[in-house]
Structure 1
């Protein structure tokens, strides 16, 4: 859709055909109110920025000149996605299977889409925009997560056109293995501390009982 055709921020997704479908299926009134009241977001809020930078996984969608879509997964430690300002997200493009479908698509068509989902908190963020490839070694080095063993030959910069947050309905709750391990270790440590405290308390009780017995003996004498 050309920028001149966009009246509401949600028009990036709600084309005339989509709106006609909403009308036919009965949801148009709901989204018309949304458009009039708030629309999709444009600038990334502090809450959304924090959500993005906390993620360890992202899906990047592109399309070639024929409109054939392609989705690529990118992952890394929390913080590998960098929110540079209210509109720009950047990350090092780690070397993978070297098919370069995303890079080829972006060469012909900069339109792109990011989809982020947090299963543990059952939250997802959708971002529409444009992406470009940056082959600047110094910039790529700055974007690389510290201590992460991966190579990257370039960076991807994503400029946000609009974003939206979905409700948690139908998102299965899942947890990262590292988070589960940390939670179990914290639980086990808490149990150990409680057991040690119980042992100390029991020893103190025995001391007090012995002291009471001693004092009673003295009283009898």
Structure 2
């Protein structure tokens, strides 16, 4: 096996990681994945569909000293936009004005997106580089979710290097409150229809049946 080859998964599997994988017995299986092409490096249609459905994302960055930081960003489905097969963008809404993520990216552009779909128990990790774009009204308008009441301050563009999908093990199944409310409303409407039908049948039985018009 050629250990000098560079694989897309090397963005996460550093020599130290591979040494631990070897010691703990998982290196062989990951080496086979590498030989088969390793991780995807572009946004596929399936990934684009997954991204477009999300209402939440975690953005990980680190400063020049290696101190990590994770920022949550959310919005309606579609707030996280695939601009092309290597670029993901979103409008960065005004918040607490700490600007930790922006400061980290000014020193170190390497970043990661972590997306998790609790309802379907699926999670996606995306490695790459990110940058903040200020004073570009056209780009911000393009990224801004239509009708969403938030004030965009700037835009964040993420260039994909590699991505991987995790297994669903240990992901708790949770559902969006709006989806639960819609399901409960549909159930209540169905119950109302059935109760009305039940009442009609009881009345028909009490009166000996309905008369023909």
Aligned residues: 208
The correspondence of residues 132-151 of structure 1 with structure 2, limited to 5 A, is: 132-135=131-134, 136-151=136-151
User: Matched residues in 1 for 2:210 and 2:12: separation?
Assistant: 78
Measured at CA, do residues 6 and 65 of structure 1 come closer, stay the same or move farther in structure 2, by a change above 3 Å?
Answer: farther
CA contact (8 A) 1:62 1:105 kept: yes
- CA separation in 2, counterparts of 1:210 and 1:10? 73
Work out whether residues 204 and 210 of structure 2, in 8 Å CA contact, stay in contact via their aligned partners in 1: no
Residues 210 and 18 (structure 1), Cα distance of their counterparts in 2 relative to 1, 3 Å cut? closer
- Measured after TM superposition, the shift of residue 128 of structure 1 is 0.2
3-state DSSP of counterpart to 1:154: strand
5 Å matches for 1:155-166?
155-166=155-166
- Where 2:98 maps in the other structure, the secondary structure is coil
Q: Which is higher, the Rg of structure 1 or of structure 2?
A: 1
What secondary structure, in the 3-state scheme, does the structure 2 residue paired with 1:209 have? Answer: coil
> Aligned-pair distance for 1:210?
5.4
Q: CA deviation at 1:108?
A: 1.2
Alignment of 1:30-45 (within 5 A): 30-45=29-44
After TM superposition, the score normalised by the length of structure 1 is 0.87
RMSD (Å), alpha carbons:
1.9
Q: Where do 5+ consecutive residues of structure 1 fail to align?
A: 213-221
Q: 1:204 to 1:92 in 2, by over 3 A?
A: same
Q: How far off its partner does 1:142 sit?
A: 2.1
CA distance in 1, matches of 2:157, 2:176: 26
> Shift of the alpha carbon at 1:195?
2.4
Per-residue CA deviations over 1:109-144 (Å, capped at 9, x if unaligned) read 111100000111110000000111111122112211
Would the aligned equivalents of 1:6 and 1:12 in 2 still touch at CA under 8 Å? no
Aligned residue number for residue 64 of structure 1: 63
Instruction: Return closer, same or farther for 1:210/1:167 CA change in 2, 3 Å cut-off.
Output: closer
Between the aligned partners of 1:36 and 1:208, the Cα distance in structure 2 is: 77
Report if aligned partners of 1:127, 1:163 keep a CA contact under 8 Å in 2: yes
Structure 1, residues 123-177: CA drift from partner, whole Å, max 9, x if none?
0000000111111122112211122111111000001000000000011111111
2:173 maps to what in 1?
Answer: 173
- The question of whether the paired residues in 2 share the 8 Å contact of 1:129 and 1:161 is answered with yes
Counterpart position of 2:72: 73
Q: Distance in 2 between matches of 1:207 and 1:142?
A: 65
Alignment gaps of 5+ in structure 2: none
Residue by residue, what CA displacement relative to the aligned partner does 1:167-208 show, whole Å, maximum 9, x if unpaired? Answer: 000111111111111111111112122223334555666788
Matches for 1:43-122 after TM superposition, within 5 Å: 43-122=42-121
Change (3 A) 1:92 1:211: closer
What's the counterpart of residue 28 of structure 2? 29
